[in-house]
Amino acid sequence: MTESTHANEDANTTTAVSGYPNVYDILFLIFLTGVLVCVGWVGVLSHEEGNKNEVTKQNGEAWVKWLKDNSEPRLQEEFAIESCAASAMERRRWGDCFNDIMENVKEVKELKNAFTGEPVAFIAKCDPKDRSTIGSIILEKIVPTPPGSSVAVVASQLVEMDAIDTKVSLKLTVCDKGGYPIKVDEFEF
């Protein structure tokens, strides 16, 4: 055979592929598995954080339910929580009513902040810069302004000294994971 024939034979010869992955294939598969595990873990964490926001909203809804359910009965005589009863004779204050609710009403007394595990706190406002506000509740009174005003109502924090002798319009808001407000409901108590 001539030298040129040998060169042609070498050029046409191919090496057989075994069908098994080489080192680079194995490294890629390991990397891909790691990425999939990380994506799954991020999904689990996101679900847990979303669930905490849902529990926070449910805490607010539990307060709204109790206040709504007892809005009419508190106008009747012999209301179970006397400090929350409407009265023409005696001044009733929100602070006394709130304390009695926290002592006597099991469904709201046992509520826990989903983010901290501590009892639910009532605060003045949600603040994204203040991490202590997450999972808290804001209870505001809604006061109508005089007719013709550019703003129909004004909302301000319901404080301990606020009178609750008669029906009061309220707005309940909760603070989410980022410290931003989530409106739950507006109602009368």
Q: Which tens digit of pLDDT belongs to each residue from 107-131?
A: 998 999 999 999 999 999 999 999 9
- Kindly indicate the confidence band of residue 148, based on its pLDDT and cuts at 50, 70 and 90: confident
Q: Which tens digit of pLDDT belongs to each residue from 65-124?
A: 999 999 999 988 888 898 998 887 888 999 999 999 999 999 998 999 999 999 999 999
Q: Does residue 102 fall inside a structural domain? A: yes
Which H or E element spans position 174? strand 169-175
Domain range spanning residue 35?
A: 20-188
Q: Does residue 15 fall inside a structural domain? A: no
Q: Does residue 116 fall inside a structural domain? A: yes
Q: Does residue 6 fall inside a structural domain? A: no
Which alpha helices (DSSP H) does 74-115 contain, by range?
94-104, 106-109
Q: Indicate the number of domains in the chain.
A: 1
Q: What is the spatial distance between Cα 114 and Cα 92, in angstroms, rounded to a whole number?
A: 32
- Return the percentage of the chain with pLDDT > 90, whole number: 70
Three-state secondary-structure class, residue 168: coil
Per-residue pLDDT, averaged over 48-53, amounts to 92
Q: Is 148 left (phi over 0), alpha (psi -120 to 50) or beta?
A: left
Q: Does residue 9 fall inside a structural domain? A: no
Q: What is the mean pLDDT of the chain?
A: 90
Q: Does residue 147 fall inside a structural domain? A: yes
- Kindly indicate the confidence band of residue 182, based on its pLDDT and cuts at 50, 70 and 90: very high
Question: So what's the pLDDT on residue 8?
Answer: 53
Please write down the HEC assignment for all residues of 135-149: CCEEEEEEEECCCCC
Three-state secondary-structure class, residue 172: strand
Q: Does residue 183 fall inside a structural domain? A: yes
Question: So what's the pLDDT on residue 14?
Answer: 67
Token representation of residue 2: 């001539």
Q: Does residue 11 fall inside a structural domain? A: no
pTM of the model: 0.78
